[in-house]
Amino acid sequence: MAHCTVPEAEAILDEEFKVHEKGFVRLVDYLGGDARIVQAARVSYGEGTKTVREDAGLIDYLLRNEHTSPFEQVVLTFHIKMPVFVARQWIRHRTARVNEISGRYSVMKDEFWLPAPEALARQSSDNKQGRASEPLPPDEAAKAIAALERGQKAAYAEYKALVDSGLARELARVNLPLSMYTEWYWQIDLHNLFRFLALRMDAHAQREIRDYASVLFGIARKVCPLACASFERHALGGVRLSAEEAAALRRLLEGREGGEGGEGGEGGSVPAGLSGRELERLMQKLAKAPSGK
């Protein structure tokens, strides 16, 4: 295979893309691009397609049909600075290679994440792990931010005093809060990056890690624009249906169910065999998909 160089990716190497006030994402290095995906796929059946349009069609076919191995040929290495609470969610994705700054070797910096006022909300009443959509009133948000900042300053002052007293760094760090910034090098192939993005760009993911995921996706677009366009079409903009949901939609498309004036949603048709929570889940999935307008 010829060496794949992508001019758009070369142009942003080592550029810091800011996330929140103090965080960032940098593309440190990359291996391959759209051309590498196509080259890897062609090994299976000869020369095959050659034009950009044909390459886009091949990449779209591979992603649509979950032929994932050619996407694993592309590897991206990022330098990322993020709060520890984001890193702890991030590390749940175990298909990457990670080197993180160590509080055993280094004195941690006095850098902490604070939320923007509009990001503060009460606990959601119907989601045990998320916040409500309505932000706090400005005065309550200001009080919450001030309380977080006081806790951060106190924790770091105690940490620094313990370090200066000679206590081992690996012990002095243990009371530092989740809002402290950490840094790591994160290397991942494109297939597994797409799996990460599908989960972390979803509306159900925590807002702060979604912010990082959006920046990662913007960088990945520079490396593999055709693959990212296909991913956006089939993963970010698509929905997965259960067998019952697919059958219900098939009946509707075949004209076997409902009709004008019938009971139910828009257009008056009700998917047969679905009701209550099942129907609600289907409508939520369809609401996620682009309208095409």
The residues carrying an active-site annotation are: 200
- Position 249: which residue type? L
18/69 Cα distance (integer angstroms):
32
- Which residues does 92 contact at the CB level (< 8 Å), separation at least 6? none
How many CB atoms are located within 10 Å of the residue 180 CB?
Answer: 22
Burial 104-117 (b: 16+ CB within 10 A, else e): eeeebeebbbbbeb
Alpha-carbon distances of 231 from 15, 38, 71, 197, 228, rounded to whole Å: 24, 15, 11, 10, 5
CB 145 within 8 A of CB 137: no
- Distance from CA of residue 287 to its chain's centroid? 20
End-to-end CA distance of the chain: 42
Three-class DSSP category at 293: coil
